[in-house]
Structure 1
Amino acid sequence: MSLKEKVEAALNTVRPHLQADGGNVELIDVSDDGIVKVKLVGACGSCPMAAMTLQYGVTKAIKDAVAEVKEVQSV
């Protein structure tokens, strides 16, 4: 399984929670050095809690599941 596939699988664990609130997360890029770029979309894109969702939901899910990931960035 590629690094990108691992990250996508991790995102699939948080997607139902985001979708329940009318949002979602898109995987934009995964670099070879462990930098993941994601974009919160839908209701999540404009939510005042987006930064916390990214840090405590999306980033935690990715880093817990994929040890190679060093950083998650929102674009």
Structure 2
Amino acid sequence: MTNQPISDLEPYLGSIGHVVIFSEDGEKYLHVHALENQGNGPQASFETTFPESGVYKIWGQFQKEGNVFTIPFVVEVP
């Protein structure tokens, strides 16, 4: 691991990245693709609307060198 930004992401299932989002209570679910035409990283932008305020767990999936990796996030939506 180099701790350097990744600039060679590959399309995974037709997108440079995917995220799955669950509400804290597990009742709400979103699947969001990265915005189109972003290149290969190191940034990947996503856009969605959260159904309500609260804490959400997000898993981002990306592909590099044929390997898919998943990164977890937690966000609080005001």
TM-score bin (small chain): 0.3 to 0.5
TM-score (norm 1): 0.36
User: Whose Rg is larger?
Assistant: 2
Calculate the TM-score normalised by the size of structure 2.
0.35
Greater relative CO, 1 or 2 (CA 8 Å, sep 6+)? 1
